[in-house]
Structure 1
Amino acid sequence: MTDFSVLDLVPVREGGSVAEALGNATRLAAHAEAIGCKRFWVAEHHTMEGIAGGATSVVLAHIGNATSTIRIGSGGIMLPNHTPFQIAEQFGTLDALFPGRIDLGLGRAPGAGPQLQRALRKDLHKASEYFPQDVVELRALLTSDMDLPIRATPGFGSNVEFWMLGSSLFGAQLAAKLGMPYAFAAHFAPDHLDSALAVYRRDFQPSETLEKPHVMVAMNVFAAEAEEEAQTLASSQQQSFVALRSGTPGKLKPPVEDYKESLPAQYRAMLTHLEQAAAVGTPEQVREKIDAFVQRTSADEIILCGATYDPDARLRSLELTLDACQKVPA
């Protein structure tokens, strides 16, 4: 049976604030827990006024206090932005606060221009070259599976579940080599989905924490009672995708009816391309699309993405999706 989780960027909407976005994230996490989702992940982004999850470990502590059973974690921490020791302390602290509930998803992409690199005091592109070694070091700092001259406290001996994130073959190959579960970001980069999953499963080497490959794939999902309503809900995130690709990112915009049809051809084509990892429509339509996606990927878990301008609409969308999917075996 397929498990369902939630990925949240802690979106800041036009007319809203960071404080409001953080409050909406905790409401969404509590709702996800109540309806049976397995995980709630927050993604690290920086210098984007429409995303409030930059201090990811702090946000997770806030969400942890608003929930009690759902696993919480990073989807992901961009390790080149940090030192392994810093992340070991942060996630070791989270594990001490919320034992047995912490996931640490790791990504390699620095996702930063020259200004952010200067602010972080790091050459992020050079740091990304050391990503495999940093992953091994970070895992050792938390699990004590190799001898290190220093211990992270908190951190050492923590029960943190490691995940490798990716949208290319690199992450798949590294996850396979290290025996880690693998999460693929198909919601914004679906091009290498099938080949990456094939490489991961083919080359997987069992580890002490994972005996066989375990795959989670991200989808954009918007469900509503009527298909037209769901399409309109999805337009806020579509506007964000277009703004990001055109170099003008900002806060989450209100929905626009028939938004896709108003776009130039290149942006319509981009959104159509992303629809291969999306399910938008009535609960029945969403269930059919998710089921087809699971059949295509053989995913063990689906992590649901999809920011809406109205936070209540996302709660309702998530509830409709889970209700529909639980009626039919995956």
Structure 2
Amino acid sequence: MNQTVNLSNVPLSLLDLAQVGAGETVRESLRHSLELAEFADTTGYRRLWYAEHHNMSAIASAAPAVLIARMGAATSRIRLGAGGVMLPNHSPLAIAEQFGTLAELYPDRIDLGLGRAPGGDQATFAALRRSPAASEQFPADVVELQKYLRGTPQQSGVVATPGAGTDVPLYILGSSLFGAQLAAYLGLPYAFASHFAPAALEQAVALYRSEFRPLQAEFGGLAEPYVIAAAGVIADDDADLARAQFDATRRHRAKFLFARDTSLSDEQADALLAGPVGRQVDDMLHHTAVGTPEQVRDTLAGFAEYARADELMLAPMAPDRAVWLGTVRALAPTA
């Protein structure tokens, strides 16, 4: 792909999956997340988001609002948000109150990305006391949530306090055409999860841009479409080390997704990756930029053009913490 996009003109943001590395405790993982937030705040990264996941021992971001509150206290500039809150797991009122509280604590720094998936398996959905049918209410729940945050009167007469009048910006997240259509209809920004589900990226962005309805005032919409596309990143001055970290990421993904109940050695994971599992993992990681910082920037510039992205959300993937944080440092935009 020929590079025509100047990456310096594309805002860069970060997605922290709060991954719990091999041999790490959750507490240690969250300390690393805090270190990342403190560094990112001193640079030109636009925003830092956390994604809601449940019942996953390798991910410590089950409660994005709690993470955002902690990171907000340790930073002063960078926007913080959820990328995203899985709205079917919650009532719109509860999320309005949580993010309304955050918006009052950290004015003009809070984002709220919303996803339709449960962020866990069916057993987790049941443990959250939610019904699978809740996903079907996602569009209506988004509208209800927006009304709470705008302070629009509800038929019930319930007011979100805190929340009302904060107008926390909403972003629709997705990896399929559904989210693209909803974001376009509501006139909201759209964030595509191409860091792990890239298949529909091109089609979804085209659909979103072609069907976008500007200035839906009742929903707090935009004048023009806005696309955030996510990409995995692993950067190091030693390109071989970066590639080795990508190989380790592939092994981890194979173990996590296809052998969660089995303890596999690296050799067994490599054998698994040599078959159809490898093709599935590589498809998932298709938009991962790996190499020296210069090589990664070149790849990201080409990706931004391909995705027709107004902003890139970078997900550092390296299992090694030094490379993980080093990637964020190496790619940091000038403050």
Q: Secondary structure at the match of 1:130?
A: helix
Return the letter of the residue paired with 1:138: L
1:213 to 202, 225, 249: 225
Q: Deviations over 1:76-115 (max 9, x none)?
A: 0000000001101100111011110000000001143342
Any residues of structure 2 matched to 1:122-141 within 5 Å, and which?
122-123=130-131, 125-141=132-148
The aligned counterpart of 1:106 is 114
* Shift in Å, 1:36: 1.1
Aligned partners of 1:48 and 1:310: how far apart in 2?
19
Return the letter of the residue paired with 1:91: F
2:243 to 227, 231, 238: 231
The aligned counterpart of 1:191 is 199
Q: Secondary structure at the match of 1:276?
A: coil
Supply the RMSD in Å over aligned alpha carbons: 2.2
Q: Secondary structure at the match of 1:127?
A: helix
* Shift in Å, 1:249: 7.3
1:317 matched to 2:327: yes
Aligned partners of 1:21 and 1:233: how far apart in 2?
18
1:281 to 288, 291, 313: 291
Unpaired segments of 5 or more residues in structure 1? none
1:66 matched to 2:78: no
Determine if contact 2:151/2:160 at 8 Å carries over to the other structure.
no
1:305 to 298, 304, 315: 315
1:173 matched to 2:181: yes
* Shift in Å, 1:275: 4.3
Determine if contact 1:80/1:108 at 8 Å carries over to the other structure.
yes
Determine if contact 2:251/2:273 at 8 Å carries over to the other structure.
no
Q: Deviations over 1:101-155 (max 9, x none)?
A: 00000000114334212311111x2000000000000000001245441101111
* Shift in Å, 1:270: 2.2
Determine if contact 1:89/1:155 at 8 Å carries over to the other structure.
yes
Return the letter of the residue paired with 1:23: R
2:258 to 243, 246, 251: 246
Aligned partners of 1:301 and 1:261: how far apart in 2?
37
Aligned partners of 1:146 and 1:195: how far apart in 2?
37
Unpaired segments of 5 or more residues in structure 2? 1-8
1:2 to 2, 7, 10: 10
2:56 to 18, 35, 48: 48
Aligned partners of 1:55 and 1:216: how far apart in 2?
23
* Shift in Å, 1:286: 0.8
Q: Secondary structure at the match of 1:239?
A: helix
Q: Secondary structure at the match of 1:183?
A: strand
- Residues 320, 249 of structure 1: CA spacing in aligned structure 2 closer, same or farther, 3 A cutoff? farther
- Comparing 215-224 with 264-273, which one deviates more in the overlay? 264-273
- Comparing 24-33 with 179-188, which one deviates more in the overlay? 24-33
- Comparing 232-241 with 128-137, which one deviates more in the overlay? 232-241
The sequence identity of aligned pairs, in percent, is: 43
User: TM-score normalised to the size of structure 2?
Assistant: 0.89
Determine if contact 1:181/1:213 at 8 Å carries over to the other structure.
yes
* Count, aligned residues: 320
- Residues 173, 249 of structure 1: CA spacing in aligned structure 2 closer, same or farther, 3 A cutoff? farther
User: TM-score normalised to the size of structure 1?
Assistant: 0.91
Determine if contact 1:261/1:268 at 8 Å carries over to the other structure.
no
